[in-house]
Amino acid sequence: MSSQSKRFLLPFLFIVVGLTLTVLVVNGMSERLFAAKPGYNLLPVVAGPTPSDARTLLLVVIPLYLVEFLILTVPLACLMLVANRLVKTTAYTQSVMTLGTRFGGFRMTRRAVVPAMFALSSGDLLLSFVNNWPFQSDSTITGVLATTVLDPLLSLLSSMVVLPVALAILMPTWALDDSGIVSHLKPKQLENRRPPDTEGVGRWYNSYIGGFALLGYPITMFFRYFYRPFFLMAQPMTAPNIALSVFTTIGLPLLIMSFVMPVIILNELTLGWTTNIVRRLARRLGAREVQIERIAPVQSEQTPQSDDLKLS
């Protein structure tokens, strides 16, 4: 097996384990919810009881994400490239940097963290604004059933509904980063006592949504799985209940990441196609090819040599 094939082992393993666990968790919670509330319809827009609704959503989301990648990634990456050029045109210029070719399975897996956290935090936020739509709200579901079954189920499924929004923002940034498009200060700006500043165009966008995800996720999870059950609903803070809240907070992003991984693998497989288009547009906007700058210490005659440092 070649090294290029080996780097997909961890992502594929992550997908298999994550999707299997997600199906088991969703089926278990939806069956338990259906047994307790047979009249509750999780997704009114889909015919069938709650377990059928949940399984239908799981079946359609991954193909939807892959189609979204093929349709939106390149056009949105081009729009982001133009927008960055217009916003930073006074002080910055764009270049195409020659990058290395290494991008292993660990980096692919790490790339899935931000969209998963963004989808989870935004999913709960969306539910609070639109009264759980497209899911049915039911005020009669309270107590342990709400905090241990309905809330985790809604968090998981609502994040899958919001995930296309996160991917629409992040997939173009991957294409920009993989293409080596950077913005850096113009030479004249260095004369104004400004240090050199070089940043990937994709990372410039990614930092905003990444900051929101890293800040919003813990706040959202703390409110839903700690403050709400233990303080608002006065459930006992026993070791099993606390352990369940901790496990839910840690486990949900890992499950969502398994739904992001197929898109990341597709991004790797289509890398030649996406990078060629993005680089071609960048060159039309005036970007030039640059090499990675190597930083080395300045040698001076006053710099003490190793022999001079020895004590006599």
Reported confidence tier of residue 311, pLDDT bands at 50, 70, 90: very low
Residue 267's pLDDT is what? 95
Q: What is the pTM of this model?
A: 0.86
- For 241-263, what is each residue's pLDDT tens digit? 888 889 889 999 999 999 999 99
Distance (Å, rounded) from C-alpha 139 to C-alpha 11?
Answer: 40
Contact 216, 122 (CB under 8 A): yes
From residue 240, give the alpha-carbon distance in Å to each of 22, 27, 154, 268, 281.
21, 22, 21, 41, 56
Burial class of residue 134, CB neighbours in 10 A (0-12, 13-18, 19+): middle
Residue 309's pLDDT is what? 43
Distance (Å, rounded) from C-alpha 228 to C-alpha 230?
Answer: 6
Residue 308's pLDDT is what? 47
Residue 1 has pLDDT above 60, yes or no: no
Residue 290's pLDDT is what? 74
Reported confidence tier of residue 292, pLDDT bands at 50, 70, 90: low
Distance (Å, rounded) from C-alpha 25 to C-alpha 33?
Answer: 12
Residue 33 has pLDDT above 80, yes or no: yes
- For 134-163, what is each residue's pLDDT tens digit? 777 777 777 888 888 888 888 899 899 889
The pLDDT mean for the chain works out to 85
Closest to 111 (Cα-Cα) out of 220, 249, 213, 250? 213
Residue 66 has pLDDT above 90, yes or no: yes
180 — alpha (psi -120 to 50), left (phi > 0) or beta?
A: left
What would the mean pLDDT of 129-133 be, rounded to a whole number? 70
Contact 225, 253 (CB under 8 A): no
